[in-house]
Each structure stands twice: as structure tokens, then as C-alpha cells.
């Protein structure tokens, strides 16, 4: 069919879409209100449908008219409370509304479509409703009836007339009046409509997308102009020019922001369709689900709104399908039979976060692993090593669907990997967390906009590139002197040692095929600029020649001939007019066949295994004289200062640092142990630690690294007062400094008031020391014995437990390590604390890495105190406090570790 | 529906912008040509196909520049003082064609166009729509769509 006025038709389509936009949510609300009809709400829907019907009749769109008419009839009866909505009725209405949208979206063909099925169903409801009326709602509240009375009267005749004479063209003049008077009626009692929970339609203007895009381009060019001007001003100089530039800068930013604002849309636009999705899907699956939506008002760019629709739908469907259990299963597990799916949007650190949570069964990682092994995604060994957290990530693996059988709900070949890829494509990221039996939370992080992004400009081989800031984790400069140490080759690939982890390196010039020399990273004699980048599963260091500046750039798409360039995410125009490609961090990773986190973790596990199950601890590595490396446990260090050598005073042979009004005694390693003298240098570092209630500084000429080390400590070869032992790292022998002994050697006087073994007490205390590392065992024994205790040593928890049961009653206190073979410290503690005979025995747990989680676990097991291994002062004070609580408190007991005595007695 | 085909059916003259790529005198119907510039400050694009010379800043947009010599199988173009970018509009994208030298604009009658031989001076004939003989030279009419469809 043809229409005389295509513009009018287009107008009709736009308007009808607006009318239909909210209808789904409104119908669902009508459904949930049930017999307690919200007349205002029904009126809103009625008016929307009525307008569509009228206009459609006027334009000769007979099918739309027909369907809208049938729908309106049913709504009319609901409005007068002759018909109580239930889910069956609303179901029919929802489907009819869908069909109506379908007709409007394909307006040209609408008259040839068949809607009789929907019309019949609606008419059935309409006609049968006479019976239902009196049962459901015999008497409506009087007040409401009075209020709505005028509206009804004006509308009723319209309906009558329509039924008699359904000739559409006649209708138009009639329609307008009641519609207008209804609006007036609604305005008369705003108090009642205000509290309706249906979201108010925001006052907004309609802007052509083309216009918006043009505005956006203009803003882009303005930004470019500003960049050019800024550069000109920097080269020349002149105050007035600078003022102009500053102003232009400000205006541009504001304009940019304002224009961005026009593109911003509430995320609720996407959220709104989910109640329906969940309702239909849960009905189909026989489940019960509620949807809770929060933060629908959070605004993001329209491009992002468009891009996240599908991934979000997929995840919501997943939550219903795989997450929420069947009602009887839920009841069995003492959960509310109705599951809840929560959609939450909020701003965080300049980004938008969306959480999709369900309170369903969670992800069964064991099943997931089995499936992954079955499909050859991971090996059996890997599966057994995988933590639950890593295992959950398996669902993002390509071709992975957890559904037992393929249904039309999920398992359509489109898996979570596609969701992840799509979200990463727009610069976002996905994370997932799941607790078996409790539920699953998927967290999506999105940028606010895609058009103008902050980025970092870098250079390689004389060419400039931009890296989006969202991908940048940090910038690292490796000095040429450190290069050999920090950059090494593992299995043919370069890695950077960064705070105890190995970070894979990608040489940008090679990744982009620009490399002119063969050596690359194998040449160790020059400094390196490394941009540590992250995207989804990849995290690596990008080796570049120079890091220039950060700049807001306007993203320009690349032409179609360059679509195959996976390393690029587009291009931008710089201040000087040159084009700079924007690097795609995940594209480069894929191109260079970088391994993902998963594989990386696997590697770590292997490395750890090679090193043996030795204890990990964090060490500060430093040199005093070149090539002579020392280490101090990080856990003992209060802070590190960098000072000029001329700040050091010498008073009576003691080096002092005047610092914050007090003087800090300094220790030079070479004065107390066998070591080369520190060379002359302008600046040194001072490692500050606490001994015996005093702050002491250890002079460290050069700091090298902080490493988490699992190596076995050799406690004999280099043992001397002040040196606890040695470890071998990267083929270098490093001596571990014993700060306590060093301080004691330097200043025995400080320790004169140190409590010694109490001779006046009736007996000597017996301590059971359970520790698998012979080094730490030896060290602890030394200081415990020197304090006057008798020490019984055991190599692991099992041995300790046996010993306790053997000679149990002679032991006054247990000091145990946490990580041990056969039986760990937590288990040993739990056994002691649950044993009727031993439960009063105090237990001190020793650890090299005190994490909150460990502390928590320790407290759960019943540990009386928690101490760091190398901190002998605190360990000793804790021992004293626990074995002899009634003795007066010793001097060095720190308030922080004091525990109420009640728990011990 | 290009204007070129429209004019073909009309008896009116067809205006061709002519230019040299190597020894070949090529031409395009003038309506295709958006502009000709000397913006030879190209930014190389890593991993780009060999026939893409790079990208340029075309008044705030990033335009791809195609090396016609590569497409026609004539080897890479050199930068000379005569080198130019011939910017053609293609869909919603502006694309630059790197040419060695710009020649005249000529008016021809469409009747004078004859089918092109399979190979002209070693260049691949599938990119040619036809040839036109002037008094002194042979003008080859380029099939823009075919040239730009190279992936």
C-alpha cells in the first residue's frame, strides 16, 4: 500500500513508538497490582493505545487500528474495575502490545499482516469479563470512584460509537476531545498520580541523531583546534595569547561536556526491558523470579547503551536459566522460592559499573572443571590446581556453555565469551564472582563515552601512537643498570620482574613490524620505557621508545581498507595535525600470541612447585656496596626514607639523622658485619624499623627490588651476628640481615633492661615449636633459649600433635608456623583448642606474610596471638604475656598486640 | 547509480580528470573526484595491506591513501614533487588515491569509449572500464569501485 504523506507516516511511527515504549513496564505493574487496580496507571496505558488507535484509523492503517481497538476495550474494562487483571490476561495483552510494536515497526506491510489471533483472544477476555467482575472486586473504594467519574463519562461514549461504527476515518475528530479532557482530569489530581510507582516520563526534546553526530564532530574539531593553539602558545610566548588559550581550553571542555550530555541516556532505558524478559523466561522454565533494578538513572553515552543491550540481555537470561533454581529446590535449601535478580548501575572512578546478581545456586566449579576437561579446554592436572575463582572464569572460555542440554533459552552457541568480547570491544571489562548455593554476581565496567577519550601518547621508531588511559595500569622505567636484572628471558619470551611477579613484555616496534634492529630487548645497556597495560585477560608490558604526554583525543575510525589491522582501535589527529594510530591493547596481545592470565597463573604454580613448598615472604633487596646484596623482611620495615648524605651527623661515633625534630640513630652494615664499605655517594636510603621501642635506621645505599621469595634460607654458610642466613635469587647470593642482632651488636646498651629468664620463678617454661623450615626453627629456638625457655622442636603439625599427646602436660605454650606439610598450623590449633585436655594451652601462630585473611582464619581456629616470624621482640613479648599472664607486663609489650586476659585463663 | 553511467546514456560530453600512474594515463569521471591535494605527510599504518600507503588528516577526518601502482601491479610509488592525492568519495568515506602526476581535464563523448584490452602496459585490466583514444594518447578509464574493493 502507499501513503500520501510519508512525513506524516514517519511522525506516526515515532509517536507510536514513544507511546509503546513504556507500555510493557506499565502492563507488568498492572499485573503485579492485581485486583487492586491503579486507575491512573491503567488510564495512562489506555490513553497511549487510544492515541495510536485514533491516528491509525485516520491514516487507514486498519490492522493497527483493529488491534489497538481490541486492546483498548480490555483496558477500558479494567479502568472501570469491571475486569481484574491476572497474569493470563496480562500475558495476552503483552503479546498484543508486542504485535502492535511489530506492526508499527514494519508499517508498510502492516495492513497485510494477520492479527486476528490476538484480537480474538482480547475479545474473549473482553466478553467473558462480565462474570469476573463481581467475584473479584464487588465494591470499589468510594473516593476513587468519585475521582475518576468525570473521566469515564467522557470516554464511554467514544467506545460506544466505535463499536457501532468502526469506520476509522470518522473517528479522528471524536478522539481528540476525550483525550484532551482526560489530560485535564489527570492534572486535576496530581497528588494521586505523583505517588504512582511508574517512572515519570522525563521532560526531554527529540534531537535528530544526525544533528547530534554533527555536534559531536564539531566538538572534536574544537578540541583539535585547542590542541593546536596550545602548542603554538607553548612555542611562542605572550601573556595575552596564553589567556586566550586558557579561555579556549575552558570553553572547549565545557562545550564538549555539554554536547556529551545530549548523548547521555539513562541506563534505565536498557534495564526497563528486563522485567518482561525475566517474567516470560521464568514462566517458561517454571521458575519464580523477581527483578530489582537500581541506578536506572545513571547515564552513559548512547553508543554504549546500544552496545550493552545484547550482552546484558544474555547475562540476565543466563541468571534466570542457570542461576535461579526451581522453586522446590529453593524451598529445599531453605531459600525463598522466588529468586531475585538484581541489576545495579552506579558510577565508580569515572566509569560505570553494572552488577547483575542473582541469589541462585551459584556456579558449581567442580562441574565446570569436569566439563572443561571433557572438552579439552584444560588438562586434568590444571583442573585440580585451579582455584574456584579461576575456575569460574572458565565460563568465558570460547565454546563453553554450562547448560546440561541445549535449549532455546541458552546454549545457542553464543556463550559468555561473546559477551565478554563485545564488552571488551567497547573498552569495558567483565568480572564474575560466584558462591555455590548463594548466587552469582557478574560485574561489568564500562567507560562513560567512546568518542573522546583520555590517552597517553608514546613513540616508537619515531612514530607516534596513542594508548587509551583505561588500558594503562602504570608506567615503568627500567634504568640501563637494572635492565640486565629486571628483564630476562623465560622460554624465549621476555619478561619484566615487577614487584615479585613476572610480567610478559611486548616490544611495540616488533609487534607492529617496525623493528629495525635484531637485538631488541637482548641489548641490556639502555634504559627502557615500559607501559604496563591491561585488557580483559591480558596484562603485559609494552616496551616503547618514549612516553610523551597524556592528552584527550578524539577517536576517528579507520577506513575499510584497514579493518584487518587488529592492533589498532582507530586513529586520532594530534595537535600538530599529524595522524596517530590508537593502539588496541587486546589486539596486540592476540597478534603476539601472548598468554592469558590463566596460562600465566599455571606458569606461576609451576614455578612455585619448582621452588619447593618453601615459605613465601616479601623481602626488600638492597646493595650497600655494588654487587653485594642484602635483604630485609618487608614485614619489619616501618618506612623507607631517601636522604642526602650531608644530613647525617656523627655524634660520639654514632651516626644520626636529624629527622622530624628527633634524631634517628643510623646503622651502617659495613661497620658491624663482614661487608665492603659503602662507596661515596650523594644520596642514600634509610630503612627505618623498630627495635625495643626505638626507631632505628639502616643505611641502604641502593634499593633494588621488593620480591616475594619462596627460596629456602641457608642458615649456616654466612651466619654471623647480624646476618640470619642467605638465599639464592637469580644466581646471586643474598644475605638476610637480622635487624635485631644487628642493633644488639651495635648498641648492646639499648637492651640492658631486657627481661632475662626469671630466676625467681618455680620452673622454666616449656615451649613447643612447630615449624617446617629448619632455618626459622633454628632462629626461633635461638632466641627462645636465650630468653630462658626450654624448646621442644617439631617439623610439622602432625609431629607436633603427636608430641603434645605424648608429653602433653609438660608444655606451657605452642608456637606454630601456618604453612606446613601433613598438618598445617590452623588444623593443629583447631585440634588443640577442641581437645578437652589441651584446650587451655595458649597458641601463637607465626607467619611470614600477615594477611587479613590469615588473621581471620587464625582467629577462627582459636589462635591466641598472631606474630610475624622475624619480629623476635613481638614474639617474645607475646610468649611472656601468654605463659605468665599474672606477671607484671613486660616493658616491650606493644599495646597493639595486647589481648584481654580473659580469653586465656 | 553513478553520475558517470547517467551521462553515458546522454549525448552530453563526459568530463574526465586524467592523471599519470607510471606511464599509464588514467582517468576518472570528474564527479568522483572530491579534491586533489599535496598532503603527502602520511602516517604509516602497521599491518596494513601492501596497497595502503598510509593515512592522512583530511580536515579532521582520517582518510586512507591507496597506492594505485600496487593495485595495478606496477610496484610501489615513489614520492616526487608531482605526487598528489586524488581524494574520491566512496560511500560515506573519503579515500585518497596516490598518483604520480595530475594531467588535464578532458571532455569526451561516451561513444568514443572502447572496451579495454586485458592488459595495458603490464597493468591488470580488470580495474579498467574502457579506453579512449585522443589524438596523441590512450586514456584509460579507471573502475573506481573495483579499485576500492580491493581488500
Q: pLDDT for A595-620, tens place per residue?
A: 554 445 444 444 444 433 445 677 88
Q: Report the b/e string of A411-432 with b at 16+ CB within 10 A.
A: beeebbeebbbbbbebbbbbeb
What residues form DSSP beta bridges with A847? A868
pLDDT at A896: 40
Q: Which residue of A has its CA nearest to B51?
A: A561
Inter-chain CB proximity A562 and B45 less than 8 Å: yes
Task: Summarize the confidence of residues B55-67 as an average pLDDT.
Answer: 88
Among A701-705, A869-873, B95-99, B143-147, the range scoring the smallest mean pLDDT is A869-873
Report yes or no: A73 and A123 within 8 Å, Cβ to Cβ: yes
> Strands B138-142 and B24-29: what pairing?
parallel
Question: In chain B, whose CA is at the least distance from the CA of A222?
Answer: B60
Residue carrying C-alpha cell 637482548: A522
Nearest to B128 by CA among B72, B89, B52, B64: B72
- Cβ within 8 Å, pair A559-B64: yes
Is the Cβ–Cβ distance between A62 and A50 less than 8 Å?
A: no
When scoring B47, B51, B52, B150 by the number of chain A Cβ atoms within 10 A, the one with the most, hence best to mutate, is B47
DSSP string, A630-649: EEEEGGGEEEEEEEEGGGEE
Instruction: Please indicate whether, in this complex, the C-beta atoms of B60 and A220 are within 8 angstroms of each other.
Output: yes
The CA distance from A553 to A864, in Å, is 57
CB hemisphere CA count around A686 (13 angstroms): 23
Dihedral, CA of residue B57, residue B59, residue B61 and residue B62, to nearest 10: -10
The pLDDT, as a whole number, for residue A905 is: 32
Spatial contact of A715 and A738, defined as CB atoms under 8 Å apart: no
How crowded is residue A387: how many other Cβ atoms within 10 Å of its Cβ? 11
Residues A50, A98 contacting (CB under 8 angstroms): no
Model pLDDT, residue A355: 92
Closest CA to A229 of A215, A242, A216: A242
Contact A224 B60 (CB under 8 A): yes
Q: Is a pLDDT exceeding 90 seen at residue A466?
A: yes
A103-117 as b/e, with b when 16 or more CB fall inside 10 Å?
bbeebeebeeeebee
| pLDDT for the residue A801 | 84
Query: Using the beta-carbon criterion (under 8 Å), do B43 and A571 form an inter-chain contact?
Result: yes
- Residue A606: its pLDDT value, please? 45
Dihedral (C-alpha) A87, A91, A97, A103: value to the nearest 10 degrees? 180
Find the residue in B nearest to A218 (Cα): B60
Q: What pLDDT, on a 0 to 100 scale, did the predictor assign at position A191?
A: 37
CB spacing of B66 vs A561 below 8 angstroms = yes
CA–CA gap between residue A543 and residue A530 (Å, rounded) = 5
By the 8 A CB rule, do B87 and B35 touch?
yes
Q: Does B134 touch chain A (CB under 8 A)?
A: no
How far away is chain A from the Cα of B135, in angstroms, using its nearest Cα?
38
Contact B60 A562 (CB under 8 A): no
Cβ neighbours of A357 (radius 10 Å): 19
C-beta atoms of B47 and A571 within 8 A: no
Position A214 scores a pLDDT of 75
- Antiparallel, parallel or unpaired: β A637-644 and A629-633: unpaired
- What are A546's three cell numbers? 618514549
Mean pLDDT of chain A: 75
* pLDDT band at A757; cut points 50, 70, 90: very low
Q: What mean pLDDT do residues A168-181 have?
A: 38
For the beta sheet containing B24-29, the strands, ordered from the edge strand earlier in sequence to the opposite edge, are B101-108, B14-21, B24-29, B138-142, B128-133, B113-114
Q: Are the beta carbons of A707 and A633 closer than 8 angstroms?
A: no
C-alpha distance from B138 to closest chain A C-alpha (Å): 30
Task: Report the alpha-carbon distance of residue A798 to residue A825 in Å, rounded.
Answer: 10
CB contact under 8 A, A568 and B43: no
Question: pLDDT grade, residue A501 (50/70/90)?
Answer: confident
Task: Report the candidate in A628, A613, A638, A649 with the shortest Cα–Cα distance to residue A795.
Answer: A613
Mean pLDDT across A236-255:
73
Give the burial string for A716-749 (b: 16+ CB within 10 Å, else e). Answer: eebbeebbbbbbebeeeebbbbbbbbbbbbbbee
Give the DSSP letter of residue A714: B
Cell 602548542, residue located: A231
CB A872 within 8 A of CB A815: no
Residue A390: its H or E element? helix A388-392
| CA nearest to B43 within chain A | A579
Query: What mean pLDDT comes out for the span A782-809?
Result: 80
**What is the pLDDT at residue A237?**
63
Q: Which pLDDT value is given to residue B65?
A: 93
Q: How many CB atoms lie within 10 A of CB A587?
A: 17
Contact B62 A561 (CB under 8 A): no
**How many CB pairs (< 8 A) connect A and B?**
80
Helices and strands counted in chain A (H then E):
30, 34
Shortest Cα–Cα distance, B96 to chain A (Å):
11
pLDDT at A130 (0 to 100): 53
Residue A464's φ and ψ, nearest 5 degrees, are: -105, 145
CA atoms of A525 and B25, how far apart (whole Å): 54
Sole residue written with cell 637480622 = A738
- Does B93 contact chain A (CB < 8 Å)? yes
A158 or A661, which is more confident? A661
pLDDT at B118: 66
Listed in sequence order, the residues at least 6 apart from A676 whose beta carbon sits closer than 8 Å to its beta carbon are A624, A625, A628, A670
Q: Give which of A703, A705, A698 is closest to A668, Cα–Cα.
A: A698
Query: Quick one: pLDDT at residue A903?
Result: 35
ipTM over 0.90: no
Do the Cβ atoms of A433 and A392 come closer than 8 Å? yes
Q: What is the pLDDT of residue A13?
A: 83
Closest Cα of chain A to B50: distance in Å? 11
Q: Which of B88, B87, B84, B68 is nearest to B76 (CA)?
A: B68
Q: What does the pLDDT average to over A138-153?
A: 37
Contacts of A577 in chain B (CB under 8 A): 41, 57
CA distances from B38 to A573, B97, B101 (A): 18, 11, 11
* H-helix or E-strand spanning residue A861: helix A852-861
Contact A561 B64 (CB under 8 A): yes
- Give the per-residue pLDDT at A522: 65
How far off is chain A from B21, nearest CA to CA, in Å? 21
Cβ A324 vs Cβ A358: under 8 Å: yes
Report CA-CA distances (Å) from A706 to A431, A619, A703, A709: 29, 6, 9, 9
Q: Which of A220, A514, A573 lies closest to B46 in CB terms? A: A514
Which residue in B42, B46, B55, B145 has the most chain A C-beta atoms within 10 A of its own C-beta, making it the best mutation to test that interface? B46
Residue A726, strand partner residues:
A714, A735
Residue B64 pLDDT > 90: yes
The per-residue pLDDT for A902 is: 35
Distance from CA of A452 to the nearest CA of B (A): 14
Interface test with B, best of A562, A567, A569, A587 (most B CBs within 10 A): A562
Q: Which segment of A49-63, A140-154, A483-497, B58-72 scores lowest on mean pLDDT?
A: A140-154
Decide if B111 touches A, using CB distance below 8 A. no
- What is the rounded distance in angstroms from the CA atom of residue A420 to the CA atom of residue A425? 8
Chain A contact for B46, CB < 8 A? yes
Of A606, A617, A801, A582, residue with least CA distance to A709: A617
Cell numbers for A881, please give them.
604475656
pLDDT tens digits, residue range A668-681? 888 888 888 888 88
| SS3 state at A468 | strand
3-state helix, strand, coil in chain B (%, to 5): 15, 50, 35
For residue B151, the chain A residues in CB contact (below 8 A) are 561, 564
Q: Which of A842, A821, A714, A866 is nearest to A778 (CA)?
A: A714
Amino acid A467: pLDDT? 93
Alpha carbon of A219: minimum distance to chain B alpha carbons (Å): 11
Q: pLDDT of B123-148, one tens digit each?
A: 677 788 888 888 888 888 888 888 88
Closest by CA to A246, choosing from A238, A397, A622, is: A238
Residue A611 sits at φ, ψ, to 5 deg, of: -70, -5
Contact (CB<8Å) A591/B150: no
- Strand, helix or coil for residue A862: coil
Contact status of B150 with chain A (Cβ, < 8 Å): yes
Encode pLDDT of A420-464 as tens digits. 877 877 777 888 888 888 888 998 888 776 667 889 999 988 889
Contacts of A583 in chain B (CB under 8 A): none
Residue A142 has pLDDT above 70, yes or no: no
pLDDT of residue A517: 61
- Write the DSSP string, A222-268: HHHHHHHHHHHHHHS--HHHHHHHHHHHHHHHHHHHHHHHHHEEETH
Question: What b/e string do you get for A285-311 counting C-beta neighbours within 10 Å, with b at 16 or more?
Answer: eebbbbbebebbebbbbbebbebbeeb
| A675 strand-pairing partners | none
Q: Which residues of A touch B41 (CB under 8 A)?
A: 577-578
How far is A580 from chain B, CA to nearest CA, in Å?
7
Higher pLDDT, A902 or A300: A300
Rounded-to-integer distance, Cα A85 and Cα A375, Å: 49
Banded pLDDT at A148 (limits 50, 70, 90): very low
Amino acid at each position: 500500500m502507499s501513503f500520501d504523506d510519508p512525513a506524516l507516516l514517519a511522525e506516526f511511527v515515532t509517536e507510536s513508538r514513544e507511546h509503546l515504549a513504556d507500555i510493557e513496564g506499565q502492563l507488568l505493574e498492572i499485573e503485579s497490582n492485581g485486583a487492586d487496580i491503579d486507575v491512573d496507571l491503567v488510564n495512562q496505558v489506555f490513553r497511549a493505545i487510544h492515541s495510536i488507535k485514533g491516528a491509525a484509523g485516520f491514516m487507514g492503517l486498519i490492522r493497527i487500528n483493529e488491534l489497538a481497538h481490541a486492546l483498548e476495550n480490555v483496558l477500558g474494562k479494567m479502568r472501570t474495575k469491571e475486569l481484574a487483571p491476572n497474569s493470563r490476561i496480562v500475558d495476552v495483552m503483552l503479546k498484543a502490545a508486542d504485535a502492535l510494536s511489530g506492526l508499527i515497526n514494519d508499517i508498510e506491510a502492516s495492513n497485510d499482516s494477520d492479527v486476528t489471533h490476538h484480537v480474538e483472544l482480547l475479545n474473549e477476555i473482553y466478553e467473558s469479563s462480565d462474570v469476573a467482575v463481581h467475584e473479584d472486586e464487588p465494591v470499589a473504594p468510594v473516593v476513587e470512584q468519585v475521582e475518576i467519574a468525570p473521566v469515564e463519562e467522557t470516554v464511554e461514549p467514544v467506545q460506544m460509537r466505535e463499536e457501532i461504527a468502526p469506520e476509522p476515518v470518522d473517528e479522528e475528530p471524536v478522539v481528540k476531545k476525550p483525550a484532551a479532557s482526560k489530560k485535564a482530569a489527570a492534572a486535576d489530581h496530581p497528588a494521586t498520580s505523583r505517588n504512582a510507582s511508574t517512572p515519570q516520563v522525563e521532560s526531554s526534546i527529540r534531537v535528530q541523531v544526525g544533528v547530534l553526530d554533527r555536534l559531536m564532530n564539531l566538538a572534536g574539531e574544537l578540541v583539535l583546534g585547542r590542541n593546536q593553539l596550545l602548542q603554538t602558545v607553548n612555542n611562542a610566548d605572550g601573556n595575552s595569547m596564553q589567556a586566550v588559550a586558557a579561555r579556549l581550553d575552558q570553553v572547549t571542555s565545557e562545550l564538549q561536556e555539554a554536547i556529551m550530555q545530549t548523548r547521555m541516556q539513562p541506563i534505565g532505558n536498557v534495564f526497563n526491558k528486563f522485567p518482561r524478559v525475566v517474567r516470560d523466561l521464568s514462566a517458561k522454565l517454571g521458575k519464580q523470579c523477581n527483578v530489582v533494578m537500581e541506578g536506572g538513572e545513571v547515564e552513559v553515552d548512547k553508543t554504549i547503551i546500544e552496545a550493552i543491550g545484547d550482552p546484558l540481555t544474555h547475562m540476565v537470561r543466563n541468571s534466570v536459566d542457570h542461576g535461579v533454581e526451581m522453586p522446590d529446590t529453593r524451598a529445599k535449601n531453605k531459600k525463598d522460592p522466588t529468586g531475585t535478580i538484581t541489576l545495579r548501575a552506579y558510577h565508580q572512578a569515572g566509569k560505570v559499573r553494572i552488577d547483575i546478581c542473582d541469589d541462585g545456586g551459584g556456579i558449581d566449579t567442580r562441574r565446570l572443571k569436569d566439563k572443561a576437561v571433557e572438552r579439552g579446554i584444560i588438562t586434568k592436572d590444571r583442573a585440580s590446581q585451579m582455584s574456584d575463582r579461576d575456575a569460574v572464569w572458565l565460563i568465558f572460555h570460547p565454546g563453553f556453555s554450562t547448560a546440561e542440554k541445549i535449549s532455546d533459552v541458552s546454549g545457542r552457541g553464543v556463550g559468555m565469551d561473546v559477551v565478554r568480547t563485545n564488552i571488551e570491544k567497547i573498552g569495558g571489562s567483565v568480572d564474575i564472582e560466584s558462591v555455590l548455593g548463594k548466587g552469582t554476581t557478574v560485574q561489568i565496567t564500562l567507560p562513560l563515552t567512546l568518542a573522546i577519550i583520555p590517552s597517553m601518547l608514546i613513540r616508537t621508531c619515531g612514530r607516534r601512537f596513542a594508548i587509551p588511559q583505561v588500558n594503562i595500569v602504570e608506567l615503568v622505567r627500567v634504568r640501563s643498570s637494572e635492565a640486565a636484572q629486571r628483564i630476562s628471558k623465560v622460554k624465549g619470551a621476555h619478561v619484566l620482574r615487577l614487584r615479585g611477579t613476572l610480567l610478559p613484555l611486548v616490544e611495540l616496534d616488533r609487534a607492529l613490524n617496525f623493528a629495525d634492529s635484531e637485538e631488541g630487548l637482548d641489548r641490556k645497556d639502555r634504559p627502557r620505557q615500559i607501559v604496563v597495560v591491561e585488557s580483559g585477560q591480558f596484562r603485559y608490558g609494552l616496551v616503547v621508545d618514549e612516553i610523551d604526554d597524556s592528552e584527550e583525543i578524539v577517536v576517528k575510525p579507520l577506513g575499510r581498507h584497514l579493518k584487518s589491522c587488529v592492533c589498532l582501535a582507530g586513529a586520532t589527529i594530534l595537535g600538530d595535525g599529524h595522524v596517530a594510530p590508537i593502539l588496541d591493547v587486546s589486539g596486540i596481545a592476540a597478534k603476539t600470541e601472548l598468554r592469558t592470565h590463566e596460562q600465566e597463573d599455571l606458569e606461576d604454580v609451576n614455578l612455585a612447585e619448582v621452588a619447593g613448598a618453601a615459605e613465601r615472604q616479601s623481602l626488600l633487596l638492597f646493595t650497600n656496596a655494588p654487587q653485594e646484596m642484602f635483604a630485609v623482611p618487608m614485614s619489619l620495615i616501618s618506612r623507607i626514607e631517601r636522604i642526602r648524605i650531608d644530613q647525617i651527623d656523627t655524634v660520639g661515633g654514632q651516626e644520626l639523622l636529624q629527622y622530624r625534630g628527633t634524631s634517628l640513630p643510623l646503622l651502617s652494615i659495613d661497620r658491624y658485619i663482614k661487608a665492603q664499605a659503602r662507596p661515596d655517594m650523594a644520596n642514600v636510603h634509610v630503612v627505618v624499623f623498630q627495635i625495643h621501642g626505638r626507631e632505628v635506621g639502616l643505611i641502604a645505599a641502593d634499593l633494588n627490588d621488593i620480591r616475594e621469595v619462596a627460596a629456602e634460607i641457608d642458615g649456616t654458610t654466612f651466619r654471623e651476628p647480624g646476618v640470619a642466613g642467605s638465599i639464592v635469587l637469580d644466581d646471586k647470593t643474598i644475605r638476610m640481615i637480622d635487624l635485631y642482632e644487628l642493633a644488639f651488636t651495635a648498641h648492646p646498651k639499648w637492651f640492658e633492661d631486657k627481661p632475662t629468664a626469671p630466676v625467681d620463678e618455680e620452673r622454666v617454661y616449656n615451649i613447643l615449636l612447630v615449624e617446617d623450615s629448619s632455618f626459622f626453627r633454628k632462629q626461633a629456638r635461638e632466641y627462645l633459649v636465650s630468653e630462658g625457655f626450654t624448646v621442644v622442636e617439631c617439623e610439622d603439625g602432625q609431629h607436633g600433635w603427636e608430641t603434645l599427646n605424648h608429653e602433653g602436660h609438660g608444655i606451657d605454650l605452642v608456637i606454630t608456623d601456618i604453612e606446613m606439610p601433613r598438618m598445617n598450623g590452623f588444623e593443629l590449633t583447631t585440634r588443640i583448642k577442641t581437645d578437652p585436655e589441651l584446650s587451655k594451652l595458649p597458641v601463637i601462630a607465626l607467619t611470614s606474610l600477615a594477611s587479613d585473611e590469615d588473621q581471620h582464619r587464625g582467629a577462627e581456629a582459636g589462635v591466641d596471638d598472631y606474630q610475624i616470624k622475624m619480629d623476635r621482640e613481638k614474639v617474645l613479648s607475646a610468649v611472656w604475656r601468654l605463659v605468665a599472664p599474672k606477671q607484671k607486663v613486660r616493658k616491650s609489650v606493644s599495646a597493639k598486640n595486647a589481648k584481654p586476659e580473659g580469653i586465656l585463663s | 547509480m553513478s553520475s558517470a553511467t547517467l551521462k553515458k546514456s546522454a549525448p552530453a560530453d563526459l568530463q574526465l580528470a586524467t592523471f599519470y600512474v607510471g606511464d599509464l594515463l588514467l582517468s576518472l569521471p570528474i564527479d568522483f573526484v572530491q579534491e586533489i591535494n599535496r598532503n603527502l605527510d602520511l602516517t604509516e599504518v602497521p599491518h596494513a595491506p601492501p596497497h595502503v600507503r598510509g593515512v592522512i588528516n583530511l580536515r579532521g577526518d582520517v582518510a586512507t591513501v591507496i597506492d594505485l601502482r600496487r593495485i595495478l601491479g606496477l610496484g610501489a610509488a615513489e614520492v616526487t614533487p608531482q605526487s598528489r592525492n586524488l581524494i574520491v568519495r566512496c560511500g560515506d568515506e573519503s579515500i585518497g588515491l596516490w598518483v604520480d602526476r595530475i594531467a588535464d581535464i578532458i571532455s569526451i563523448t561516451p561513444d568514443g569509449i572502447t572496451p579495454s584490452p586485458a592488459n595495458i602496459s603490464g597493468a591488470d585490466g580488470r580495474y579498467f572500464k574502457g579506453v579512449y583514444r585522443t589524438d596523441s594518447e590512450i586514456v584509460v578509464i579507471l573502475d573506481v569501485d573495483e579499485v576500492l574493493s580491493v581488500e
